[in-house]
Amino acid sequence: MKVTTERFKTIALEELANARTQKFLQILPKTLSARRQAAYASFPDPQAAHRYGAAIRADAVARLPELLERFEKNALDNGAKVFWASDAQAANDYIVNLAHAQGVRYVTKGKSMITEELGLNDQLRDSGIIPWETDLGEFIAQLLDRPPFHIVGPAINIPVEQICDIFMQKGVLDAPTLDPVALGLAARLFLRDKFRDLHMGITGVNIAVADTGTVINVENEGNIRFNKSSARTLVCVMSLEKVVPTMADALHMLRVLCRSATGQSAGAYISMDSGPKKSAEIDGPEELHIIVLDNGRSALYADPQTREALRCIRCGACLNACPVYGKVGGYPYGWAYSGPMGQILTPALRGLADSSDLIRACTLCHRCKTICPAGIDHPELLLYYRAKDVQADPLLKGHGAGSAEQLAHRVFALIAGHVLYWRLLTKGVRMITDRFADGPVIHKIARLAPGWFHSRDLPALARKSFHERWREKEHVTDGGAHAKKGSTLD
Ligand code: SF4
């Protein structure tokens, strides 16, 4: 998968002009949000459950070094092998070397954002090993060489005609069909064959339990379970923040994760692996390798402000709440993580240089923060990244700002910084919009900055400011008695 984060604006504009994407985005986030809300209502006290999940994540991140050491000790005691990968290259090298040492020609993979982060598929292919994604959506995205559109539906936006074409090209399908069930069955038979004599399976990890050394995966298709139970060697790649202290914590996080991600009280399959299979067991891998990936997370952890991003459980709920994702979809984010989740993780893991537009593609509406089961304050983090990004050059560093735009920003900052200037400006704008509401002046202003108005409206200002209305209200109530302050204005 190519990383295209630095092309956020360009791809966002393409997606804004893509009628199919726009139609799709009218439905997907709303549907998932409604499902999440309904599923949360099944908690006896939804707010308490939400807060408890956030508290577990905050506690786990606060005690990360201690929990990871405990996890490693218990995983080793269970018979697993644990490898600490400092970066993507170290993790990829470990997997490729292991595959070569075992004479593996192909591997199967369960859906995992972490292996997208590693660029593992490219590394495997370059080393002569064929990777097969086994989640249906990931399989389609892999064949089309596309990034995921949505974390819980990587190829949910791809039309059946396109799926049929690519399945025909790649030999998944014998005869063309647009029947989604037949397409699903073709993929299933094709992939089932890969599991038959499987040497190595690779999965991510949703939750790791420090107390027991257990790795947990949750899914709906059963393909991860196949990866885990059919392979002789299983490699589980976990980002180091996935650990929680106890199994009770893990079970609560599973409840929260499934509700937040797909609106289910539990995923269809939940697998818990504590070490490779024991001598009396039939299923399971003979070898279990757990790769604990750093890849920039220690630096994230070292900064108390960015540490909070490590709480993320990759549920995707923030994508469905985000007005920006709701307009542009997943492709513009250009990497494994999209939506607000991507906006807080990508700059931290890949650096600010390529993420300049990404950290500014936010209205700071706070909906992601409200909905996040991990208790992450995305707006605060984005402001922090923005501040860091401009530190080298306080005058709107980078992101293509021309001198006219810079001047406009400076003038605006000057006006916005003085009450008197601000009042004069808003009065002037009000006079103009009152006189030419929706008329030629507005259109002329919009023509002056076509880029800015390409995907934005210029709503008319309210006829009276809040302060004017407040003063009027005070005037008519009780001769301006201060006791009336705080009463509703309507
Ligand atoms: S940032 Fe929060 S809401 Fe978004 S994916 Fe992570 S845990 Fe879920």
| Ligand 1 atom nearest to CA at 368 | 3
DSSP single-letter state for residue 462: P
Q: How confident is the model at residue 1 (pLDDT cuts 50, 70, 90)?
A: low
Domain membership of residue 25 (yes or no) is no
Cβ of residue 318 lying under 6 Å from some atom of ligand 1: yes
Domain membership of residue 15 (yes or no) is no
Q: What are the tokens at 272? A: 């818990």
Domain membership of residue 390 (yes or no) is no
Domain membership of residue 123 (yes or no) is yes
| Ligand 1 atom nearest to CA at 151 | 5
Cβ of residue 284 lying under 6 Å from some atom of ligand 1: no
Asked which of 233, 263, 298 is the last residue of a domain, the reply is 298
Cβ of residue 317 lying under 6 Å from some atom of ligand 1: yes
Cβ of residue 237 lying under 6 Å from some atom of ligand 1: no
Residue 184, pLDDT > 90, answer yes
Q: Are 357 and 385 in contact (CB under 8 A)?
A: no
| Ligand 1 atom nearest to CA at 371 | 3
Q: What domain count does the chain have?
A: 2
Domain membership of residue 27 (yes or no) is no
Domain membership of residue 19 (yes or no) is no
Cβ of residue 313 lying under 6 Å from some atom of ligand 1: yes
CA of 361 to the centre of ligand 1 (A): 17
For the chain, the residue count is 490
d(CA 298, CA 314): 19
Residues 285 and 153 in one domain: yes
d(CA 254, CA 197): 31
Mean pLDDT for 188-200 is 93
Mean pLDDT for 317-343 is 94
Domain membership of residue 37 (yes or no) is no
Residues 127 and 258 in one domain: yes
The pLDDT tens digits for 372-410 are 999 999 999 999 999 998 875 555 554 555 567 678 888
What is the domain range of residue 176? Answer: 44-298
Residue for token pair 């999965």: 203
Residue 144, C-beta contacts closer than 8 angstroms, at least 6 positions apart: 155, 158, 162, 166
The pLDDT tens digits for 337-381 are 999 999 999 998 888 888 889 999 999 999 999 999 999 999 999
Q: What pLDDT is recorded for position 486?
A: 42
Cβ of residue 50 lying under 6 Å from some atom of ligand 1: no
Cβ of residue 379 lying under 6 Å from some atom of ligand 1: no
Q: What pLDDT is recorded for position 450?
A: 62
The pTM assigned to this predicted structure is: 0.82
Asked which of 270, 298, 326 is the last residue of a domain, the reply is 298
Q: From atom 8 of ligand 1, which residue's Cα is the shortest distance away?
A: 315
The pLDDT tens digits for 40-86 are 999 999 999 999 999 999 999 999 999 999 999 999 999 999 999 99
Q: How confident is the model at residue 123 (pLDDT cuts 50, 70, 90)?
A: very high
| Ligand 1 atom nearest to CA at 378 | 1
Residue 229, C-beta contacts closer than 8 angstroms, at least 6 positions apart: 283, 284, 285
Helix (H, G, I), strand (E, B) or coil at 279: coil
Cβ of residue 257 lying under 6 Å from some atom of ligand 1: no
Domain membership of residue 155 (yes or no) is yes
- Mean pLDDT score across all residues of the chain: 89
Cβ of residue 53 lying under 6 Å from some atom of ligand 1: no
Q: From atom 7 of ligand 1, which residue's Cα is the shortest distance away?
A: 312
| Ligand 1 atom nearest to CA at 309 | 1
Looking at per-residue pLDDT, the higher value among 427 and 248 belongs to 248
| Ligand 1 atom nearest to CA at 374 | 7
Q: From atom 6 of ligand 1, which residue's Cα is the shortest distance away?
A: 312
Residue 125: give its domain's CATH number.
3.40.50.10420
Residue 463, C-beta contacts closer than 8 angstroms, at least 6 positions apart: 430, 434
